[in-house]
Amino acid sequence: MEVKQIKTRCLMFSQKIDDWDLNAYLIKGEKRNFIIDTGLGSEDFDFIKKFIDNRKKTIIINTHFHGDHIWGNTKKYPIIAHRLCRKLILENWDAMLSDNRQYVNGNVEKVLPDITFDSELYFEEDKIKLFYSPGHTIDSISVIDEIDKILFAGDNIGDNEEEIIPKLYCEKSTFLETLKIYEKLDFDTCVSGHNTVLKKDVIQKIMEKI
């Protein structure tokens, strides 16, 4: 797993799996560590965990229910997700694991989000906002770091710059509304579950192509 520093307080963890890339993130906030997505199992998460500041509380964020974003979940830390994410994990767990078992890295345990929300959550001391942003999936959430001006878009950005439109498991009109929300936000850097580090103009590029 490759580690890259993004601006002042964010680390990006990237790995190549067959012909696709997978990213997870750590934000070192003022009061808390925020781990965004947990990878493919306990070995992925244990690697990320080495970089946290143990003097601070740690929170895991699941951007959506797909296995490559939740299989590293652990009971050691609270997990935040959209309300629908918890429901979809329960409904799809067995099928996701059966269909993609070859990608599992370490141990996998069904650990559900224990803190859920509908619209948004804001951590004032850390200047971190989580908000509902359906598109790739109906339970998708995004995170914005108001200090570093980074948008963490989950899988609402396509897997690479050539395939910049993500696979959509909800209505296109719903995704377009999320893109309009993104456009209004104050950020200059955009990261996602599978792509490289991009600039804000990627949102306009997706809107033009879609």
Indicate the pLDDT class of residue 128, thresholds 50, 70 and 90.
Answer: very high
Choose which CATH entry (3.40.50.300, 3.40.50.1000, 3.60.15.10, 3.40.50.1820) describes domain 2-209: 3.60.15.10
**pLDDT of 55 higher than 90:** yes
Could you give the 3-state DSSP secondary structure of residue 86?
helix
**Which residue in this structure is represented by tokens 């964020």?**
61
Q: Which has the closest alpha carbon to 61: 95, 22, 103, 33?
A: 33
Triad 1, 31, 8: Cα angle to 5°: 50
**pLDDT of 168 higher than 90:** yes
Indicate the pLDDT class of residue 139, thresholds 50, 70 and 90.
Answer: very high
**pLDDT of 161 higher than 90:** no
Relative to beta strand 79-82, strand 57-61 is parallel
Q: In this predicted structure, what is the pLDDT of residue 74?
A: 98
The 10s digit of each residue's pLDDT in 62-115 is: 999 999 999 999 999 999 999 999 999 999 999 999 999 999 999 999 999 999
**In the predicted model, what is the mean pLDDT of residues 149-156?**
98
DSSP, res 185 = S
DSSP, res 79 = E
Could you give the 3-state DSSP secondary structure of residue 13?
strand
